[in-house]
Amino acid sequence: MTGYPPPQRFLPPAQGLAEGAYERPSGDSISLGQVFGVMRRRYKLILLMALLGIGAGAYLAIRTPASYRAVSTIRFAGERREITGEIGNETPDVQSSSRTMDPILSLAQGVKSYRVLGEVVDSLGLQLGSATPDFGLGKLEKVWVDTLAAADTFPVTFYQNGVKAKLKNREARARYGEVLNLGVVRFAVPAVPDVASADLVVIPRQMAQDKLYTGILVTPRPGTDVIDVAYLSANPKLAQRVVNTTVSVFKQLSILNAKEKSTRRREFLESQLKQTDSMLVRAQTELAAFRSRRQMASTEDALKQQQTDMMTLDERRAELEADRTTFNTLMGQLKKGGEANESAAFRSLASSPALAENPAVSGYFHQLELSEFKLDSMTTGPWRAAETNPDLIQLKSSIASTKAQLRQAIQSHVSTIDARISALRGLSAQTGSKLGALPAMAEEEARLASRVQSLTTSADEVRRDYQKARMAEEVEAGDVDIVDLAGTPYAAI
């Protein structure tokens, strides 16, 4: 043999498919004909599998206990809000929360809250279960389980005259209808059951709540404020008790929660009211002490009174200065001498308003007028007296004496006016100094009075809210109303 490779072999050229010949479809698709072909070849196996499935389903249907559905109905009634109005209403503003909160859905979530479910578990003893299929919890009464009980299983034996059970190291016996006490578990068997013994199971409270959470169905009715609360159970009476207890507990807890909120609000407002009243009393005391130190009822009134007094003093001083000018003019004319000057001065004195203010000047002036009238009577007319007449001489002497006394009285009156003007100037200066201090005092008083007014308003508002909180605390109503309680289901679903 040589090392040469074998000669190449050439295949004959492919021939085209004959017309009408079968062409296999491209890809991995399977035609309907192929499926029927497989079924014809494997019909025995397919029939066997169908019979096995039907048999298994029938067996499970027979062995599975019937389920009963109990339904209670509640609604968001807002009864408490109707009674209390805006008192203690802590619901957020509808316009601001409408995009994020649906009160009906919130209510539905509240029904399945673990606080509600825990109360239902405790009241119905749902921590206790049965591991024996022929002995259900519907045959037990007055069930109570300690909330701290751990998971455990214990046997119960039924005799003709009573029941015996043993849990851990504790064994107990009881007659039918009486409570059998095992410490963390208590229950009663009302009548002799159909089995001789049963195994009961204690589960933790959290596990019982979880089982109840999955079993409770809460369904809001669209377009209404009504919510259906349902529960499925193999025991129709247990289904009824669970759903009715759930809605009742939820209603009571909603009332309790509202009362607790009102109580917290009342306690908070009570502390705020005490604090506000204490601050108000302190502010009123400071204002009263300020006015007592200043010896005035109100700085504003004192300011007005000082301003009035200042104007009065200025007016009186102006009047006195005018009188002094008048009397100085008279004194100047009298000092000039001469009958004409004296007559003009006395006529001016007669028309002066200040004449009536000084009795001495007024008296001398009237006495001078009478004497001059007598002199005129004696020196005029056909029966006038001679110049040597003693009466005439005496009358002229009296007139001269009266004029001298009148000049002296006018001088004394001018001195008195000067003294009064000086005193008024002192009073004006003193009043002006007080008046200058009053604005600062008025500002301080206004600050104290404003604080008193503000605290009074705050105290009134807090007191009004406190009274409303006390009223809300006494309202025994909630915003949940039970429309229908579930009856005992009469047919399985």
Are 337 and 191 within one domain?
A: no
226-233 and 216-220 as β-strands: parallel, antiparallel, unpaired? antiparallel
Cβ neighbours for 364, distance < 8 A, ≥ 6 positions apart: 402, 405, 406, 409
The C-alpha atoms of residue 216 and residue 247 are separated, in whole angstroms, by 11
Of 203, 235, 260, which closes a domain? Answer: 203
* The pair of three-digit structure tokens given for residue 430, joined into one six-digit string: 């003193």
Among 232, 203, 199, 196, residue whose Cα is nearest residue 217:
232
DSSP, residue by residue, 383-446: TPPPTT-HHHHHHHHHHHHHHHHHHHHHHHHHHHHHHHHHHHHHHHHHHHHHHHHHHHHHHHHH
Length of the chain: 493
User: Could you list the residue range(s) of the whole structural domain that residue 194 is in?
Assistant: 129-203
The C-alpha atoms of residue 284 and residue 449 are separated, in whole angstroms, by 8
Are 182 and 302 within one domain?
A: no
| Tens-digit pLDDT string for the chain (493 aa) | 444 444 444 444 544 444 444 444 555 567 777 777 777 777 778 888 888 888 877 766 666 567 788 899 888 776 556 555 545 454 444 444 445 667 788 888 888 888 899 999 988 888 888 888 888 777 888 899 988 888 889 999 999 888 999 888 888 899 998 999 988 899 999 988 888 889 999 999 999 999 989 888 888 888 888 889 999 888 888 888 899 999 999 888 888 887 888 888 888 888 888 888 888 888 888 888 877 766 655 556 666 666 677 677 777 778 777 777 777 777 776 666 666 666 666 666 656 666 566 677 777 777 777 877 777 777 776 767 777 777 777 877 887 787 777 777 777 777 777 787 788 777 777 766 665 555 666 677 778 888 888 888 888 888 888 888 887 777 666 677 888 888 888 877 7
- Enter the pTM of the model: 0.55
Q: Could you tell me if residue 482 is inside a domain?
A: no
Are 310 and 171 within one domain?
A: no
Q: Could you tell me if residue 351 is inside a domain?
A: yes
CA 89 → CA 35, 258, 469, 473, 491, distances in Å?
70, 9, 10, 12, 44
Of 176, 203, 230, which closes a domain? Answer: 203
The C-alpha atoms of residue 216 and residue 231 are separated, in whole angstroms, by 5
Q: Could you tell me if residue 373 is inside a domain?
A: yes
Q: Could you tell me if residue 88 is inside a domain?
A: no
* The pair of three-digit structure tokens given for residue 73, joined into one six-digit string: 């109905």
Are 312 and 434 within one domain?
A: yes
Q: Could you tell me if residue 13 is inside a domain?
A: no
Q: Could you tell me if residue 22 is inside a domain?
A: no
Are 311 and 184 within one domain?
A: no
DSSP, collapsed to helix, strand or coil, labels residue 113 as coil
Cβ neighbours for 331, distance < 8 A, ≥ 6 positions apart: 407, 410, 411, 414
Are 174 and 297 within one domain?
A: no
The C-alpha atoms of residue 319 and residue 440 are separated, in whole angstroms, by 32
Q: Could you tell me if residue 170 is inside a domain?
A: yes
The C-alpha atoms of residue 295 and residue 288 are separated, in whole angstroms, by 10
The C-alpha atoms of residue 21 and residue 411 are separated, in whole angstroms, by 163
The C-alpha atoms of residue 152 and residue 164 are separated, in whole angstroms, by 17
The C-alpha atoms of residue 257 and residue 112 are separated, in whole angstroms, by 16
Number of domains in the chain: 2
Q: Could you tell me if residue 84 is inside a domain?
A: no
Of 146, 175, 203, which closes a domain? Answer: 203
